[in-house]
Amino acid sequence: MKSVDQINHDLLRPVVHTSGRFWLVFVILGSVVLAAVGAFAYQFWEGIGVWGINRPVFWAFAITNFVFWIGISHAGTLISAILRLANATWRRPVTRCAEVITVFALMIGGMFPIIHLGRPWLFFWLVPYPSERQIWPQFRSPLAWDFFAIGTYLTGSIIFLLLPIIPDWALVRDKTSGWRHGLYRVVSLGWRGTPRQWHRLETAMHIMAVAIIPVAVSVHTIVSWDFAMAPVPMWHSTIFGPYFVAGAIFSGIAGLILAMAFLRKLLHLEEYLLPIHFDNLGKLLLMMSLLWFYFVFAERLTTWYGNEPAEMAVFWVTQRGSFAPLFWTMVFCNFLIPFPLLAISRIRRTITGVVIASSTVVVGMWLERFLIIVPSLSHKYLPYTYGHYRPTWVEITILVGTFAAIGLLYMLFAKFVPIISIWELKAGGHQKPAARAAEAVSARTSPMGAKELELRPES
Amino acid sequence: MAHKWGMAVDLDRCTGCEACVVACRAENNVPTAGEDQAARERVIHWIRVERYWEGEFPDARLKFRPVLCQQCDAAPCEAVCPTYASYHNQEGLNGQIYNRCIGTRYCANACPYTVRFFNFYNPVWDKPLHLQLNPDVSVREVGIMEKCTFCVQRIKAAEIEAATDKRGLKDGDFTTACAQSCPPKALVFGDLNDPTSEVSRLARSRRATLLLGELGTLPKVSYLEQDSWHSEND
Amino acid sequence: MERRDFFKISAITGAAATLDACGKPEQQLIRFIPDEDLVPGIATWKPSVCTLCPAGCGLTVRVMQGDAEVVRNGKLGLIRMGLAKKLEGNPQHPVNRGKLCARGQAGLQITYNPDRVRHPLKRLGARGSGEFQEISWDDAVKELVSQLSTLGQKNEAGSVAFLTRPLHGQRRTLVEVFLKAFGAPAPVSYELFDEAVLRRANLLSFGHAQLPTLDLARARYVLSFGADFLGTWNSPVAQAIGYGEFRQGRPGLRGKFVQVEPRLSQTGANADEWIPARMGSEGMLALSLAHVILNQKLRPSSPGHAASLISGWAQGLPDYAPEKAEKLTDVPAAKIVELAQEAASHEPAVGVVGGAPLAQANGLATAIAVNALNELLGSVDSPGGIFFTAAPPFAAGTKLPEPPERSQGRFGALNAVLQEILLDRPHSPKVLLLHDVNPVFAAPPDAHVQAAVEKVPFIASFGSFVDETSVLADLILPDHSPLESWLDDVPESGLLAAVATVAPPALYALYNTRAMPDVLLDVAHQLGGNVSASLPWKTYDEMLQAAFADVEKKAGAKSGDIWKKAQADGWWSSGEGSAASGKSRLSTSGTPSHGAVTMSEPQFDGALEEYPFSFLPFASTMLYDGSLAHLPWMQETPDPLSTAMWGSWVEINPRSAERLGIRQGDLVEVTSQHGKLQAPALLSPGIAPGVVAMPVGQGHGNFGRYAGHRGANPVSILAAAVEPETGALAWAATRVKISRVGEGKLILFAGGMRENAAEDENR
Q: What is the DSSP string of C644-702?
A: B-SS--EEE-HHHHHHTT--TTEEEEEEETTEEEEEEEEE-TTB-TTEEEEEES--BSS
Q: Do C752 and A386 touch (CB under 8 A)?
A: yes
Q: Does residue A426 register a pLDDT over 80?
A: no
Q: How far is A431 from chain B (nearest CA, A)?
A: 52
3-state helix/strand/coil string of C225-289: ECCCCCCCCCCHHHHHHHHHHHHHCECCECCEEEEECCECCCCHHHCCEEECCCCCCHHHHHHHH
Tens digits of residue pLDDT in C373-406: 999 999 999 999 999 988 766 544 444 334 433 4
Q: What is the mean pLDDT of chain C?
A: 88
Query: If we measure between CA atoms, which residue out of A393, A377, A296 comes closest to residue A336?
Result: A296
Tens digits of residue pLDDT in A280-301: 899 999 999 999 999 999 999 9
Tens digits of residue pLDDT in A228-255: 999 999 999 999 999 999 999 999 999 9
The span from the CA of C214 to the CA of C500, in Å, is 19
What element of type H or E holds C438?
none
Q: Do C751 and A321 touch (CB under 8 A)?
A: no
Query: If we measure between CA atoms, which residue out of C580, C536, C512 comes closest to residue C94?
Result: C580
User: Touching check for A1 and chain B: CB below 8 Å?
Assistant: no
Among C270, C655, C750, select the one facing B16 at the smallest CB separation: C270
- B neighbour chains, 3+ CB pairs within 8 Å: A, C
> How do C75-89 and C31-32 pair as beta strands?
parallel
C371 and C414 together in one domain: no
Instruction: Name the CATH topology of A4-455.
Output: Formate dehydrogenase/DMSO reductase fold (1.20.1630)
Q: Do A229 and B79 touch (CB under 8 A)?
A: yes
Tens digits of residue pLDDT in B9-25: 999 999 999 999 999 99
Q: What residues in chain B have their Cβ under 8 A from chain A's Cβ atoms?
A: 37, 40-43, 48, 50-52, 67, 76, 79-84, 100-106, 108-110, 112-114, 117-122, 142-145, 212, 215, 217
Residues of A in contact with B110 (CB under 8 A): 229-232
Q: Which domain holds residue C418?
A: 137-194+409-477
Task: Please check whether residue C117 lies inside any domain of the structure.
Answer: no
Cα angle at C737 between C732 and C738, to 5 degrees? Answer: 115
Q: What DSSP string describes B206-227?
A: TTEEETTGGG----SEEEEPPP
Q: Does residue A83 register a pLDDT over 60?
A: yes
C203 and C348 together in one domain: yes
On the CB side of C303, how many CA atoms lie within 13 Å of its CA? 18
- Which of the residue ranges A416-420, C68-72, C631-635 has the most confident prediction, judged by mean pLDDT? C631-635
Check: CB of residue A27 under 8 Å from CB of residue B97: no
What sections of C540-648 are H helices per DSSP? 540-555, 561-569, 632-636
Among C96, C635, C653, select the one facing B57 at the smallest CB separation: C653
User: Touching check for C452 and chain B: CB below 8 Å?
Assistant: no
Biggest alpha carbon distance in chain A? 77
Of the given ranges (A136-140, A258-262, A308-312, A430-434), which has the lowest mean pLDDT?
A: A430-434
Strand partners, C619: C696
C320 and C416 together in one domain: no
Q: Does residue C409 register a pLDDT over 80?
A: no
C169 and C204 together in one domain: no
Burial of C606 (0-12, 13-18, 19+ CB in 10 A): buried
> How do C213-214 and C386-387 pair as beta strands?
antiparallel
Tens digits of residue pLDDT in C306-365: 889 999 998 989 999 999 999 999 999 999 999 999 999 999 999 999 999 999 999 999
Residues of C in contact with A322 (CB under 8 A): 763
Task: Please check whether residue B156 lies inside any domain of the structure.
Answer: yes
pLDDT on residue C758: 58
Q: Do A49 and B37 touch (CB under 8 A)?
A: yes
Check: CB of residue C272 under 8 Å from CB of residue C358: no
Tens digits of residue pLDDT in B27-76: 999 999 999 999 999 999 999 999 999 999 999 999 999 999 999 999 99
The pLDDT confidence band at residue C290, using thresholds 50, 70 and 90, is very high
Number of Cβ within a 10 Å radius of residue C215: 24
Q: Do B83 and A126 touch (CB under 8 A)?
A: yes
Residues of A in contact with C753 (CB under 8 A): 383
Looking at the 3D structure of chain B, how many domains does it have?
A: 1
Tens digits of residue pLDDT in C155-205: 888 999 999 998 888 898 899 999 999 999 999 999 999 899 999 999 999
On the CB side of A25, how many CA atoms lie within 13 Å of its CA? 19
Check: CB of residue C174 under 8 Å from CB of residue C543: yes
Residues of C in contact with A390 (CB under 8 A): none
pLDDT on residue C474: 96
The span from the CA of A114 to the CA of C271, in Å, is 51
Q: Which domain holds residue B93?
A: 5-227
3-state helix/strand/coil string of C312-371: CCCCCCHHHCHHHHHHHHCCCHHHHHHHHHHHHHCCCEEEEECCHHHCCCCHHHHHHHHH
Tens digits of residue pLDDT in B64-102: 999 999 999 999 999 999 999 999 999 999 999 999 999
pLDDT on residue C759: 52
Number of Cβ within a 10 Å radius of residue C700: 23
Amino acid identity for residue A163 in this structure: L
Q: Does residue C15 register a pLDDT over 60?
A: no
C663 and C738 together in one domain: yes
Burial letters A285-295, b for 16+ CB under 10 A, else e = bbebbbbbbeb
| Mean pLDDT confidence for A48-63 | 95
C225 and C273 together in one domain: yes
The CATH number assigned to the domain holding B169 equals 3.30.70.20
Q: How far is A387 from chain C (nearest CA, A)?
A: 5
The CATH number assigned to the domain holding C204 equals 3.40.228.10
- Percent of residues in chain B assigned helix, strand, coil, to nearest 5: 25, 20, 55
| Mean pLDDT confidence for C579-605 | 73
The span from the CA of A145 to the CA of A219, in Å, is 9
Strand partners, C620: C624
Task: Please check whether residue C513 lies inside any domain of the structure.
Answer: no
Tens digits of residue pLDDT in C71-82: 887 788 888 889
Check: CB of residue B74 under 8 Å from CB of residue B218: yes
Q: How far is B75 from chain C (nearest CA, A)?
A: 23
Q: Does residue B222 register a pLDDT over 80?
A: yes
Residues 6+ apart with CB under 8 A from C362: C280, C283, C599, C600, C601, C602, C603, C723
Task: Please check whether residue C21 lies inside any domain of the structure.
Answer: yes
CA distances from residue C728 to C198, C423, C724 in whole angstroms, order as listed: 10, 21, 8
Q: Does residue B206 register a pLDDT over 90?
A: yes
The span from the CA of C299 to the CA of C342, in Å, is 12
Check: CB of residue A443 under 8 Å from CB of residue A90: no
Q: Does residue C609 register a pLDDT over 90?
A: yes
The span from the CA of B14 to the CA of B16, in Å, is 6
User: Please, which residues 93-112 of chain C have a Cβ atom closer than 8 Å to chain B?
Assistant: 96, 98-106, 108-109, 112
Chain B residue with CA closest to A145: the answer is B82
Q: Do B110 and A126 touch (CB under 8 A)?
A: no
Size of interface B-C (CB pairs under 8 A): 224
Residues 6+ apart with CB under 8 A from B210: B219, B221, B222, B223
Residues of B in contact with A385 (CB under 8 A): 114
| Mean pLDDT confidence for C470-499 | 92
Task: Please check whether residue B234 lies inside any domain of the structure.
Answer: no
Q: How far is A58 from chain C (nearest CA, A)?
A: 15
Looking at the 3D structure of chain C, how many domains does it have?
A: 4
Q: Do C276 and B58 touch (CB under 8 A)?
A: yes
Task: Please check whether residue C523 lies inside any domain of the structure.
Answer: no
The span from the CA of C236 to the CA of C26, in Å, is 43
Task: Please check whether residue B233 lies inside any domain of the structure.
Answer: no
User: Touching check for A331 and chain B: CB below 8 Å?
Assistant: no
Size of interface A-C (CB pairs under 8 A): 32
What element of type H or E holds B147?
none
The CATH number assigned to the domain holding C30 equals 2.20.25.90
pLDDT over 70, % of chain A:
93
C364 and C414 together in one domain: no
Amino acid identity for residue C95 in this structure: V
pLDDT on residue A284: 92
Residues of C in contact with A56 (CB under 8 A): 751
- Percent of residues in chain C assigned helix, strand, coil, to nearest 5: 35, 20, 45
Task: Please check whether residue B232 lies inside any domain of the structure.
Answer: no
C190 and C209 together in one domain: no
Among B55, B64, B233, select the one facing C685 at the smallest CB separation: B55
C685 and C733 together in one domain: yes
Task: Please check whether residue C125 lies inside any domain of the structure.
Answer: no
Task: Please check whether residue B11 lies inside any domain of the structure.
Answer: yes
The pLDDT confidence band at residue A85, using thresholds 50, 70 and 90, is confident
Residues of C in contact with A383 (CB under 8 A): 751-757, 760
pLDDT on residue C566: 87
Helix, coil or strand: residue B24: helix
Of the given ranges (A142-151, A214-223, C25-34, C366-375), which has the lowest mean pLDDT?
A: C25-34
Q: Do C645 and B38 touch (CB under 8 A)?
A: yes
C81 and C184 together in one domain: no
Tens digits of residue pLDDT in C532-589: 999 999 999 999 988 888 778 877 778 888 888 888 888 888 766 554 444 455 555 5
pLDDT on residue A1: 60
Task: Please check whether residue B34 lies inside any domain of the structure.
Answer: yes
Q: Does residue C23 register a pLDDT over 50?
A: no
| Mean pLDDT confidence for C222-228 | 97
Task: Please check whether residue C516 lies inside any domain of the structure.
Answer: no
Q: Do B104 and A377 touch (CB under 8 A)?
A: no
